[in-house]
């Protein structure tokens, strides 16, 4: 079932868009090869629901107030670095029959026995770049950790099952997750200070004392 998102075309541009955010609306742009850029708005509530389900690698259907439909990917979501709220959204228009590149997230499942043995599990990457027709882009790649029990074991991209309809752009030899020994703490060498010999200073004889002795 296609994921749909209702959008509206907007005339407000620039700094004036801050008033839209106050009303619970997010300014957005729709762009892509062969189409004219469109300025849009979407309600924050509707977008967050769709974004949670689709992420940035699932094609969704944008529907405007005229009933026009556009197939698109959520290309970029810009947030305020202080509040974390969404400032703007970029949608990338896709055409049926045209291959596109996308970054598909990795979902790690299972527990690695290596961790129980005191070893470290290092997750090298959390996404894979692929190229495929929009309808063939996977929502995620699952990586099973349950077979990782010894140091130096790892899972590379070539170990995953990838559909023939999907081309991996990320090199197949890329390591996704690996097991290593924990770093050993260096033993601190105690600092020894050399013994300092105390030497009594000898004062030169006083001339007047020598005269009295005489």
CATH number at residue 142: 2.170.120.20
pLDDT, tens only, 28-62: 999 987 788 999 999 999 999 999 988 888 889 99
Residue 165 lies in a domain: yes
CA atoms within 13 A on the CB side of 59: 21
Please say if the pLDDT value at position 178 is more than 90.
yes
Please say if the pLDDT value at position 202 is more than 60.
no
Q: Which of 36, 68, 95 is the last residue of a domain?
A: 95
pLDDT, tens only, 56-85: 888 899 999 999 999 999 988 998 888 888
| pTM score | 0.65
The CA-based dihedral angle spanning residues 10, 11, 14, 20, taken in that order and rounded to the nearest 10 degrees: -50
pLDDT, tens only, 118-177: 999 999 999 999 999 988 888 899 999 999 999 989 999 999 999 999 999 999 999 999
- Look up the domain containing 164 and give its range: 101-180
134 φ, ψ (degrees, to nearest 5): -50, -40
Q: Which of 61, 95, 129 is the last residue of a domain?
A: 95
Residue 202 lies in a domain: no
Residue 195 lies in a domain: no
144 φ, ψ (degrees, to nearest 5): -85, 125
Q: How many domains does the chain have?
A: 2
- Tokens 């050399």 sit on residue: 194
DSSP string covering 128-183: EEEEE-GGG--S-EEEE-TT--STT-EEEGGGS---TT-EE-S-TT-EEEEEEPPP
Q: Measure CA 68 to chain center.
A: 34
């Amino acid at each position: 079932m296609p994921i749909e998102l209702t959008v509206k075309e907007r005339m407000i541009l620039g700094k004036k868009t801050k008033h839209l955010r106050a009303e619970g609306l997010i300014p957005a742009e729709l762009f892509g090869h062969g189409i004219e850029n469109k300025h849009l708005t979407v309600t924050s509530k509707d977008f967050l629901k769709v974004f949670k389900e689709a992420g940035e690698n699932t094609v969704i259907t944008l529907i405007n107030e005229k009933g026009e439909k556009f197939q698109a990917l959520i290309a970029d979501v810009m947030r305020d670095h202080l509040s974390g709220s969404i400032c703007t959204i970029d949608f990338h228009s896709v055409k049926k029959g045209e291959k596109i590149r996308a970054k598909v997230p990795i979902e790690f499942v299972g527990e690695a026995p290596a961790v129980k043995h005191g070893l470290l599990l290092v997750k090298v990457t959390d996404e894979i770049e692929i190229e495929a027709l929009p309808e063939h882009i996977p929502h995620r790649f699952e990586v099973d950790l349950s077979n990782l029990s010894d140091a130096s074991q790892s899972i590379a991209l070539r170990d995953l099952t990838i559909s023939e309809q999907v081309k991996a752009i990320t090199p197949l030899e890329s390591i996704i997750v690996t097991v290593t020994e924990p770093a050993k703490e260096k033993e601190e060498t105690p600092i020894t200070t050399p013994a300092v010999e105390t030497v009594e200073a000898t004062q030169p004889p006083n001339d007047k004392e020598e005269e009295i002795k005489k």
